[in-house]
């Protein structure tokens, strides 16, 4: 609030000072150490968000296709649950295999670098030297860095993996990645099916209730995706809502078209 008679730039300056104080607090030694430790740990939020997007899109697409074909609510529910289980499991297994492949790639790269250090240590030292020379280090300072890194074989290999090959040393656990994907898929995929659990509901009545709930879920998932990817929450929410709506619209049109063609 701007106090009457107070120059308009004063509140902005106070807010800026508060922001600078918060920024300074985040750059204390303890805060930096904690933030770096968190950054090294793998996050499974992205797996859950992607699973939720896919779960909501595919399950509602099944519901929309059933509604477009004017099928009974029980049929839409059966098809939706079948998709929820099968597609959710398939996506979880795919993410599990992806995480396993990343771990295998890291292990293979580590074994190769360890072999290179044993067979051609001077060549590997030169690689370290050139990596840090490219960062601006020169002369005795550069040689001291090379000596410190290469005196510990594990640190030496880790440096080559991250600096030369661009690999991450801390990777997600395959089972946890799969579980996060399946949990996100199932939680979001249940939303479009909720109205079909109402006894006596007609397919089209349940469909419009499902469409409204699914739209809200699409938007919420988009907001969460924006948080994960450091994007604007409104743009990300609307983008996910538009993409999910497009997929549902295509499924609905396909169901209606097929129903007409089959008479």
What are the domain boundaries of the chain? 43-261
For residue 77, pLDDT over 80 is answered with yes
* pLDDT class of 246 with cuts at 50, 70, 90: confident
Mean pLDDT of 140-150: 96
Q: Is 2 or 104 the better-scoring residue by pLDDT?
A: 104
250/47 Cα distance (integer angstroms):
26
Instruction: Scan for tokens 């109402």, then name that residue.
Output: 198
What pLDDT does residue 200 have?
59
For residue 241, pLDDT over 50 is answered with yes
What pLDDT does residue 117 have?
95
What pLDDT does residue 84 have?
92
- What CA–CA distances, in Å, run from 211 to 191, 223, 238, 250? 9, 18, 15, 14
What pLDDT does residue 112 have?
96
What pLDDT does residue 229 have?
73
What pLDDT does residue 150 have?
96
Residue 172's nearest CA partner among 32, 48, 52 is 48
Q: How far apart are the first and last CA of the chain?
A: 66
10 Å CB burial of residue 196 (0-12, 13-18, 19+) is: buried
What pLDDT does residue 13 have?
44
For residue 49, pLDDT over 90 is answered with no
150/128 Cα distance (integer angstroms):
8
In the chain, which ranges are continuous DSSP H helix?
9-26, 29-40, 45-68, 73-119, 121-133, 139-150, 153-159, 174-189, 203-228, 233-261
């Amino acid at each position: 609030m701007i106090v009457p008679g107070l120059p308009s730039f004063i509140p902005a300056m106070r807010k800026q000072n508060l922001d600078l104080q918060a920024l300074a607090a985040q750059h204390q030694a303890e805060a930096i150490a904690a933030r770096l430790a968190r950054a090294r740990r793998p996050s499974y939020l992205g797996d859950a968000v992607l699973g939720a997007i896919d779960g909501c899109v595919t399950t509602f697409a099944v519901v929309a296709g059933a509604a477009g074909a004017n099928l009974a609510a029980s049929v839409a529910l059966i098809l939706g649950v079948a998709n929820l289980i099968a597609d959710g499991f398939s996506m979880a297994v795919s993410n599990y295999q992806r995480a396993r492949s990343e771990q295998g790639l890291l292990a293979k790269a580590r074994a190769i670098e360890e072999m290179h250090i044993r067979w051609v240590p001077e060549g590997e030292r030169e690689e370290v030297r050139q990596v840090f020379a490219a960062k601006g280090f020169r002369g005795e300072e550069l040689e001291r860095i090379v000596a410190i890194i290469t005196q510990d074989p594990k640190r030496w290999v880790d440096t080559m993996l991250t600096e030369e090959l661009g690999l991450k040393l801390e990777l997600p656990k395959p089972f946890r990645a799969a579980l996060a994907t399946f949990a996100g898929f199932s939680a979001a995929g249940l939303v479009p099916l909720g109205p079909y659990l109402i006894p006596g509901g007609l397919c089209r009545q349940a469909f419009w209730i499902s469409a409204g709930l699914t739209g809200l879920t699409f938007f919420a998932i988009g907001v969460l995706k924006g948080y994960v990817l450091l994007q604007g929450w409104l743009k990300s929410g609307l983008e996910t809502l538009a993409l999910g709506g497009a997929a549902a619209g295509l499924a609905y049109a396909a169901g209606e078209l097929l129903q007409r063609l089959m008479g």
